[in-house]
Amino acid sequence: MSYLFTTPETQQQMLAAIGVSSIEDILADQVPADLRLKRDLDLPAPLSELELEQLLRQKARENVGPGTRSCFLGGGVYDHFIPSAVDAIASRSEFYTAYTPYQAEASQGSLQAFFEYQSLICQLTGMDVSNASLYEGGTAVSEAVFMAIRHTKRHDRVVMLGSLNPEYIQVVKTYLFRKDCEVVVVPTPDGTVDVAAVEAAMNDKTACLVMQQPNFFGCLEQTAELCAVAHKHGALAITSFDPLSLGLLKRPGDYGADIAVAEGQSLGIPMQYGGPFLGIIACRNEFVRQMPGRLIGETTDRKGNRCFVLTIQAREQHIRREKATSNICTNQGLMALRATVYMTLMGPQGMKEVATLCADKAHYAAEQLAKVPGLSLAFNRPFFKEFALRSTSGAQAVMEKARRAGFDIGPQALAGNADVVLVAVTETRSRAEIDRLVAALRA
């Protein structure tokens, strides 16, 4: 595509056509004066192609990743092993360049991949139906909250556990900022929530209760009891889950959740500097009409052949705005494909083995780190692959000490508590790495 630039003459012609003399006149009523930059941009001098390539290579060498350092980072993004077949299949041109499947007859490959993804997510979660994916974990939680509000017709109150990922809480609050809906966050000072405190926060105006399993600190909540509390008050129970944890833990559909959402990054998607990732959402049949995004269905053509169609597209672009469930404009098709390939390769036994390795290694690491002077487990609760450490020297100090030794841990777990840091241990970490981290922090 050619680059079409504007000359000063064409700029003046456009300005004259709209009745102003300068671009500043356009901005005068739109952008407050104190927000405008009143100088030229501080840009470096122009570079030749050779110089630019050398500069970019130099900058790229400053990046580090799990291939060069030992990654114990948690907080929602994790360093899991990705079989090479995931990259091989996802990088095929028919998938890698596929566009939104508006024409079903020309998009059978993409539609079948999404259908398989939905089927696997339903098996994984114990839910009846899944959509073709969302953006990432935070917006998946928010979309689930909107589903609950529409279904219950309760617009006044949403209850969330304080052990939910704080970024997810912030996203929900941002979504509901103009909705005049109260967001109640139940504190979790002991790492998990007190069910009685949740009971006290619920009332007959509450649309939903949002929990996370395992929670942000890695601890396991009493999910069945929490779901029962939600249902007692006529609210929906929403669970944000770790997909790999379901190799060991009970599925959301089995302990009473109505809507299950997740960040799907652990299913064959690299950490890749924070995204793109994969939003997972699944629910029971009675809520399918409230589900956002796309839902792929299976049918037969006029010759009786198996084929796939877009069954639901409940967004503004396709139906009347007042009937739309969401304004999301697309799904994470390529990331959903990666998750589909990963889950297919692993199978139930592989998922169980990965989950077991994560749990065993995390508990070994927690046991050894708790013996380091100045460190202790922040919460005496069952956990999966992630746990919170309390440091007498502060979270930032222990993170920096680990970083200097070649280990990345974190993030700081509590905004108001500067001495708690998260440590995540996945199947990719070895016992030798864990022992070296312990030795580095003990030194």
Identify whether 40 is part of a domain: no
CA dihedral 432, 433, 437, 440 (to 10 degrees): 70
Total domains, the chain: 2
Q: Are residues 164 and 304 in the same domain?
A: yes
DSSP 290: G
CB 121 within 8 A of CB 342: no
User: At 207, which CATH number?
Assistant: 3.40.640.10
Q: Are residues 169 and 306 in the same domain?
A: yes
Torsion angles phi and psi, residue 219, rounded to 5? -80, 155
Identify whether 17 is part of a domain: no
Boundary (domain end) residue, out of 297, 323, 342: 342
Identify whether 153 is part of a domain: yes
CB 226 within 8 A of CB 211: yes
What is the amino acid identity at position 155?
H
Q: Are residues 256 and 325 in the same domain?
A: yes
CA dihedral 136, 284, 211, 355 (to 10 degrees): -70
| 276-331 pLDDT per residue, tens | 999 999 999 999 999 988 899 999 999 999 999 988 876 555 566 667 677 676 66
Q: What is the mean pLDDT of residues 385-411?
A: 95
Q: Are residues 104 and 192 in the same domain?
A: yes
Strand partners, 80: none
Q: What is the mean pLDDT of residues 86-98?
A: 89
Residue 439 binned pLDDT confidence (cut-offs 50, 70, 90): very high
DSSP 100: P
CB neighbour list of residue 423: distance below 8 Å, 6 or more residues apart: 72, 74, 365, 366, 369, 386, 387, 388, 389, 409
| 142-199 pLDDT per residue, tens | 999 999 999 999 999 999 999 999 999 999 999 998 888 999 999 999 999 999 999 9
Q: Are residues 295 and 364 in the same domain?
A: no
- Relative to beta strand 386-391, strand 375-377 is antiparallel
Q: Specify the pLDDT at position 418.
A: 87
Identify whether 53 is part of a domain: no
Boundary (domain end) residue, out of 342, 371, 398: 342
Q: Are residues 286 and 262 in the same domain?
A: yes
Q: What is the mean pLDDT of residues 74-100?
A: 91
Torsion angles phi and psi, residue 156, rounded to 5? -100, -25
User: At 413, which CATH number?
Assistant: 3.90.1150.10
CA distance 412 to 409: 9
Residue 27 binned pLDDT confidence (cut-offs 50, 70, 90): confident
Based on the number of CB atoms within 10 Å of its own CB, is 380 exposed (0-12), middle (13-18) or buried (19 or more)?
A: exposed
Identify whether 32 is part of a domain: no
b/e string for 65-83 if b means 16 or more Cβ within 10 A? ebeebbbbbbbbbbbbebe
Q: Are residues 209 and 108 in the same domain?
A: yes
Q: Are residues 316 and 437 in the same domain?
A: no
Identify whether 55 is part of a domain: no
Q: Are residues 139 and 88 in the same domain?
A: yes
Boundary (domain end) residue, out of 326, 342, 358: 342
Q: Are residues 395 and 296 in the same domain?
A: no
CB 365 within 8 A of CB 433: no
Q: Specify the pLDDT at position 36.
A: 86
CB 175 within 8 A of CB 199: no
CA distance 440 to 372: 10
Strand partners, 259: 238, 283
Q: Are residues 249 and 303 in the same domain?
A: yes
CB 76 within 8 A of CB 136: no
- Extract the runs of DSSP E, i.e. beta strands, from 30-107: 70-73
Q: Is the pLDDT of residue 227 over 90?
A: yes
Strand partners, 209: 159, 237
- Cα distance between the two ends of the chain: 58
List C-alpha distances in Å: 316 to 179, 212, 320.
19, 30, 6
Residue 275 neighbours by CB distance under 10 Å: 14
What is the amino acid identity at position 207?
A
Q: What is the mean pLDDT of residues 13-40?
A: 88
The dihedral built from the CA positions of residue 112, 113, 118 and 120, taken in this order, carries a sign that is positive
CB 325 within 8 A of CB 316: no
**Domain extent for 145:** 84-342
Q: Which two tokens stand for residue 111?
A: 């539609």
3-class state of residue 398 by DSSP: helix
Q: Specify the pLDDT at position 63.
A: 87
DSSP 374: T
pTM here? 0.89
Residue 121 binned pLDDT confidence (cut-offs 50, 70, 90): very high
Identify whether 54 is part of a domain: no
CB 243 within 8 A of CB 86: no
Identify whether 185 is part of a domain: yes
Q: Specify the pLDDT at position 103.
A: 79
Q: Are residues 94 and 78 in the same domain?
A: no
CA distance 278 to 72: 21
CA distance 120 to 207: 28
Q: Specify the pLDDT at position 322.
A: 67
